[in-house]
Amino acid sequence: MTNSIFIATTEPYSGKSLVSLGIMEMLLRRAPRVGIFRPVIKTPPPGERDKNIELLRQHFQLDLDYESTYAFRRRDAVHLISQGRMDELLDRIIEKYKTLEAQCDFVVCIGSDFEGEGAAFEFGYNADIARSLGTPVLIVASGMDQEVDGVVDEVQTGIDAFCERGCQVLGAIVNRANPFELVKIKETLRQRLGERDLFLEVIPATDLLSSPTVREIAEFTGAEVLYGGNQLDRLAHRNLVIAMQVQNFLPRLREDALLIFPGDRSDVLLAALQAHQSRNFPRIAGILLTGGLRPPNIVARLLEGLPGLVPVLLTQEDTYTTATKVGMVRSYITSDNRAKIRLSLDLFEEYVDGAALTNRIVTVPVQGVSPKMFIYNLTRQAQMHKRHIVLPEGEDDRILRAAEALCARDIVDLTILGDPDAIRASIRRLGLTIDLDQIHLIAPRQSPHFLDYAETLVELRKHKGMNLDMAVDQMTDVSYFGTMMVHKGHAHGMVSGAAHTTQHTLRPALQFVKTKPGFSVVSSVFFMLLADRVLVYGDCAVNPNPNAAELAEIAIASADTAQAFGIQPRVAMLSYSSGESGVGADVDRVREATQIARQRRPDLKIEGPIQYDAAVDPDTAAKKMPGSEVAGQATVFIFPDLNTGNNTYKAVQRETGAIAIGPVLQGLRKPVNDLSRGCTVEDIINTVIITAIQSQED
C-alpha cells in the first residue's frame, strides 16, 4: 500500500481544495496522523500563509508546524529552475517530504497552482516532483465552460503527460462540471480510458463554491470598506453594473448580486439599500462604488443610522476597470467559511466513491523507489552511522571536488592519499571550500603506520614469497596502502579507480582482504537508476564466464546487496529463452544456477531461465511465464556472462539516460569499490556513500 497521494491539476482553478478536503476527511477515518505537503506554494504577501495548507491544517486541526508543510515558495523555485538547478530543487523537496513523512501515517501532496510567475514550468515540475517522491497521482481537471469532448480531452492529455514522465496515475476527478452533463462526461471518460482501469469521477459546479466573498473582492480590488465591515463574508453570486435610473435597474436586481456603479449616484445607492431591506426585492451581497466618489455628508449621515447595512465599498478606479477586476476575482475555500467547507465535503461524499478510492490507494502496487529517492535514502543511511572512507587518488581533481561535497553534507570521514602539499595546492587552485581539519591527508611513506603495514603484508603474503623489501615497495602504491588501511581497521572502506585500472584497484583486495565466509568469488552489480525505478544488474564488471555455481553465488550476493539498499529483490536469471522452452549448454547453465540458488536461499524469489522482456514487461510475462512471482516485475537481473552484462548496462544507460552507479563489489570481507576512469564527481560521491553503507552492514 502507498502512504501518500499527489493531487495534481491540469489548469488553474480546477477546484483542488474541494478534492483535498474530501480526501483528507476520507483518510482521517482510517489513519490518525495524516499530513499535508505542498512542494511549491504561491509566494504569499508578507504575513500571510498558503490558503490551501491553512484550510486543511485548521479545519482538521492537524498537529503540523506550518513550515514543515512546504518546501519552496514559487519565486525561489522558478529561480532555481531557470538556473538549471532542478536537481537541487528536487533534493530539497525530497528532504522536506521525508521529514514530514516520518511524522505521519499518510501524506497528501498537493501540486502547485499554475498562476503568476513561472506558470509555464509548473506542469512539468509537478510531474517530476511526483515521480521523484514515488507518489501515485490523482488528477483534478475543471469542467467549467467546456463541452464534454473538451473536458475528456483535457483529462486524457493530463494522464498521458504524467504517465510519459514516469508517474503512476490512480485516476482523475473532473470538478466544476456542467450539472446536466455529469453522466455523459463520465461515460465518455470510461469509453476513452476504460482499458487503463483508472479511478474516474465527476463533480458538478455550484454557484456557492465559485462565488467570491465581498471580503475577497475588497482585497483583490484594493477597495476601502465604508460600511458593513461585519458582513464581508457575504457571497457575491453575480456582478451587476448599474447605469440606469432607479425605476429601470430595480426590476433587474438578482439575489446575492454585487452592484457596481459610480459613487455620485446617491439615488441608486439609497434605492439599492432600500430594495435589500424590502420583502419584494432580492437581497444583495453588497455595493461597490467607483471613481473614488464618497457619498455626500448628508447621505453618509443617513447610512450611518441604518441597522444591518450590507457592505459598501469604495474604489478609486472607474466603473469599467472596476467591473473588469471584479470579474477576475477567484474565490477560495478558507477555514472560516463553514458553509463552503460543508458543501465541499457533501459534494465529495455524494459524487466520489470514497470506498473505491480508498481501495485503490490500499491496493495500488508500490512501484520501485525513484532514483532521486534512492539517492536520498542512501545519503540518510550513510549519515546515520558515519564511516571512514579512504580515497587513494588525491591527485585527481574529481576526487577533491567530490570530497568537498561529501564534507559539506557531513556524510563520511575521509582520508585522501597523496602529497599533502600538492593536494592543498590543488584545493586552492580549484577554489574549493574544504575544511582541511575535516579530512586526513596522508603521504604513504610519511605515515607512522607505513612500516607496520609493510610487515603485515609480509605476514599475509609470505606463502607467496613476499619479503620486507618487496612489501615496502608495494606499500608505496596508494592502492595497496589504502587497502591495508581497510584491512587493519584504520578505515572502513576504500574507493579508487578514477585514475587507476580495475585490476590495479582490486588486486590488493583479492590478495589480503579476500572474500566473505561462504563466498568463493568477488562479483559486482550496477544500480541502474531509470526514470521511475531502480534496478540491480549483475555481474557486469568482474567475472567473464561464471560457471553454474558461481552464477548462483552472484545471484544470491546481488539479491542481498539489493535488500541492503532498500530494493525488494525479485531475481531474474537471464538467458535467451524462458522457462523450459530452450535447450543448449548456455541455457542449461542458467537453469542449473537457478536450481542451486533456490536450494541455498529458498527465501528468495528467483526465476530462471528467463528472457529480459519477460522479466520486465507484465504482458509478456503473462504469456511466457504465467503465475511467476518474478516475471514482469523483476528488480535484480543476473546476466549469464560479462559480455552480455556489460554491453546491456551500457546500452540501457545510453539509450534511456539512466544513471549507472557502480560497479559495486560484493563478496569481499570489507568494502573496496572501483570507479570508472571516466567517472563524474557525482559517480564518486555515490560510490563513496554506497561503500559507507556496505561497511555499516559489515
Return the bridge partners of 348, or none: none
CA atoms within 13 A on the CB side of 569: 27
Who contacts 624 (Cβ-Cβ below 8 Å, separation ≥6)?
Answer: 578, 579, 610, 611, 614, 631
**Cell triple for 605:** 524469489
590-643 pLDDT tens trace: 999 999 999 999 999 999 899 999 999 888 998 899 989 999 999 999 999 999
316-371 pLDDT tens trace: 999 999 999 998 888 888 888 888 899 999 999 999 999 999 988 888 766 667 78
- Domain 4-205+337-365 maps to which CATH number in 3.40.50.720, 3.40.50.10140, 3.40.50.300, 3.90.650.10? 3.40.50.300
| Overall size of the chain counted in residues | 698
Domain 214-327 has CATH 3.40.1390.20: yes
Percentage of the chain exceeding pLDDT 90: 60
**Cell triple for 89:** 530543487
83 confidence band (pLDDT: 50, 70, 90): confident
Percentage of the chain exceeding pLDDT 70: 98
Kind of pairing between the strands at 659-666 and 523-529: antiparallel
Element (H, E) at 503: helix 502-508
pLDDT value at 118 more than 50? no
Return the bridge partners of 262, or none: 290
Average pLDDT, the chain: 90
DSSP class of 205? -
Residue 233: predicted pLDDT: 85
122 confidence band (pLDDT: 50, 70, 90): low
Nearest to 288 by CA among 252, 251, 327: 327
128 confidence band (pLDDT: 50, 70, 90): confident
1 confidence band (pLDDT: 50, 70, 90): low
State the pTM of this model.
0.74
Element (H, E) at 272: helix 266-277
373 confidence band (pLDDT: 50, 70, 90): confident
pLDDT value at 119 more than 70? no
More confident site: 206 or 36: 36
Beta-strand (E) ranges in 157-265? 169-177, 199-204, 224-227, 238-241, 257-262
Residue 114: predicted pLDDT: 63
Element (H, E) at 598: helix 585-600
Do the domains 4-205+337-365 and 515-667 sit in the same CATH topology, yes or no? yes
Fold of 515-667: Rossmann fold (3.40.50)
The residue ranges of every structural domain in the chain are: 4-205+337-365, 214-327, 385-514, 515-667
Mean pLDDT, range 481-488, rounded to an integer: 95
Q: Are 37 and 69 in contact (CB under 8 A)?
A: yes
CATH level 2 (architecture), domain 385-514: 3-Layer(aba) Sandwich (3.40)
d(CA 592, CA 612): 18
Nearest to 201 by CA among 387, 7, 348: 348
More confident site: 315 or 377: 315
117 confidence band (pLDDT: 50, 70, 90): very low
134-164 pLDDT tens trace: 899 999 998 888 899 999 999 999 899 888 8
DSSP string, 422-478: HHHHHHHHHT----TTSEEEE-GGG-TTHHHHHHHHHHHHGGGT--HHHHHHHHTSH
d(CA 30, CA 105): 10
639-660 pLDDT tens trace: 999 999 999 999 998 888 888 8
Q: Give the number of other Cβ atoms within 10 Å of residue 58's Cβ.
A: 13
Residue 261 φ then ψ, to 5°: -160, 165
Range with the lowest mean pLDDT among 40-49, 105-114, 194-203? 40-49
At 533, is the secondary structure helix, strand, or coil?
coil
d(CA 229, CA 231): 6
Residue 48: predicted pLDDT: 82
Long-range contacts formed by 357-362: CB under 8 A, 24+ apart: 357/23, 357/26, 357/170, 357/199, 358/26, 358/30, 360/170, 360/171, 360/199, 361/1, 361/2, 361/5, 361/136, 361/170, 362/1
Residue 368: predicted pLDDT: 66
438 confidence band (pLDDT: 50, 70, 90): confident
Residue 121: predicted pLDDT: 55
More confident site: 13 or 498: 498
- CA end-to-end distance (rounded Å), the chain: 31
196-226 pLDDT tens trace: 889 999 999 888 888 889 999 999 999 999 9
